[in-house]
């Protein structure tokens, strides 16, 4: 692992990049969520501006459940100083009570079960391989960016299993988290290909030669589109444009690609027009949470030799 103290970009640039990358990807993708690439081309030629609209009829710069659940998870972690299942489930339940603009079926089921039973973990579900736990995972990466990997993976499962408990989804989500922490340490170029290859070896369904278009909410299709998008360019803007123009669950592919590319290339690599277009409250909440999580991470980290 390279010495994070010698990373020229620095952890704050990367952490802010991940958070604003997530929100920008969500806001950009939401406009074309559930559209096909052909429909997108018909309406937008190439969709590359944050203009709101879409099936949720968003105001320009507004985000959806991907960013909102991330912020709810992050707040629950900051309040406790750790990832605790009951606190996370309570935060998600409070978020659902505030009537979010959208919510996934698996998320709703998990939160409803928690309200009924007080149990903050759902049972393993062979049909629960949605992308809803992965899309909100970013606080776990910031909290553990310098921690031993077993802590990253434990926290990953605790937050995921509040609503999603499925080995295939866990494996995909854990790969994304390991990719983010690698990027936060300045190690993306070297580590990402191996991490993706390891996932494809354990779960061959993730490997495909087909172009990922109209990705559904199934984590496998979501990550196929995201990984292909990450391979198309070495630049934040082109990666996001590639991913969201594949249509389908575009706010979520945008959010996941945005957090990964933001961690890799840093906040200054996000086009200024996109950062400015983002709702001001959302932008500030992301910046504040990123910085606060880095502080806790510092306290939890084993000291560097």
Closest listed residue to residue 133, CA positions, set 161, 92, 112: 161
Q: Which of residues 238-257 bind Mg ion (CB under 5 A)?
A: 249, 251-252
**Stretches 37-45, 59-67, 89-97, 286-294: which one binds Mg ion (CB under 5 A)?**
59-67
Nearer to Mg ion, 65 or 242 (CB): 65
- Give the footprint of Mg ion on residues 250-289 (CB under 5 A): 251-252
Q: How many residues does the chain have?
A: 305
Distance between CA atoms of residues 102 and 88, nearest Å: 19
Among 14, 20, 27, 65, binds Mg ion (CB under 5 A): 65
Shortest distance in whole angstroms from residue 250 CB to Mg ion = 7
Out of 66, 155, 221, 242, the residue judged to bind Mg ion by CB under 5 A:
66
- Measured from the CB atom, the residue of 61 and 266 that comes closer to Mg ion is 61
Query: Applying CB under 5 A, which part among 66-74, 146-154, 168-176, 259-267 lies near Mg ion?
Result: 66-74
Closer to Mg ion by Cβ: residue 31 or 64:
64
* CB-CB contact of 207 with 288 (8 Å): no
CB of 30 to Mg ion, least distance (A): 6
Are 266 and 13 a contacting pair, CB within 8 Å? yes
Pull the structure tokens for residue 260.
């990964």
**152/243 with CB nearer Mg ion:** 243
Q: 58 forms bridges with which residues in the sheet?
A: 53
Q: How near is the Cβ of 128 to Mg ion at its closest, in Å?
A: 16
DSSP state letter for 11: H
DSSP sequence for 240-274: HHHHHTT-SSHHHHHHHHHHHHHHHH-GGGS-HHH
Q: Which residue is nearest to Mg ion (CB)?
A: 64
Minimum CB distance to Mg ion smaller for 249 or for 279: 249
Can you tell me which of 14, 23, 47, 64 binds Mg ion, judged by CB under 5 A?
64
- Residues 142-201 contacting Mg ion, CB under 5 A: none
Question: Nearest Cα to 137, choosing from 57, 226, 270?
Answer: 226
DSSP character at residue 51: -
- Rounded distance between C-alpha atoms, residue 297 and residue 145, angstroms: 7
Interface residues with Mg ion (CB under 5 A)? 64-66, 249, 251-252
């Amino acid at each position: 692992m390279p010495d994070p103290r010698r990373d020229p970009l620095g952890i704050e640039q990367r952490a802010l990049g991940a958070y604003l990358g997530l929100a920008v990807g969500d806001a950009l993708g939401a406009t074309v969520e559930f559209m096909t690439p052909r429909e997108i081309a018909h309406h937008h030629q190439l969709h590359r501006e944050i203009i709101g609209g879409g099936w949720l009829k968003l105001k320009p710069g507004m985000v959806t459940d991907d960013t909102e659940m991330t912020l709810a998870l992050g707040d629950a972690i900051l309040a406790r100083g750790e990832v605790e299942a009951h606190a996370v489930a309570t935060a998600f339940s409070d978020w659902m009570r505030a009537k979010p603009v959208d919510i996934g079926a698996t998320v709703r089921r998990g939160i409803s079960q928690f309200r009924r039973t007080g149990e903050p973990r759902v049972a393993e579900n062979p049909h629960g391989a949605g992308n809803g736990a992965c899309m909100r995972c970013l606080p776990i990466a910031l909290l553990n960016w310098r921690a031993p990997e077993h802590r990253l993976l434990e926290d990953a499962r605790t937050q995921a299993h509040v609503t999603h408990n499925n080995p295939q989804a866990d494996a995909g989500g854990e790969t994304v988290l390991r990719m983010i922490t690698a990027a936060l340490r300045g190690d993306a170029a070297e580590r990402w290909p191996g991490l993706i290859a390891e996932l494809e070896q354990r779960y061959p369904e993730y490997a495909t030669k087909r172009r990922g278009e109209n990705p559904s909410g199934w984590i496998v299709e979501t990550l196929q589109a995201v990984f292909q998008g990450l391979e198309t360019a070495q630049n934040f803007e082109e990666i996001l444009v590639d991913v969201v123009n594949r249509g389908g669950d575009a706010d979520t592919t945008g959010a996941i690609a945005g957090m990964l590319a933001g961690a890799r290339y840093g906040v200054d690599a996000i086009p200024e027009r996109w950062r400015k277009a983002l709702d001001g409250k959302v932008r500030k909440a992301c910046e504040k949470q990123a910085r606060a999580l880095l502080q806790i991470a510092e306290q939890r980290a084993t000291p560097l030799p």
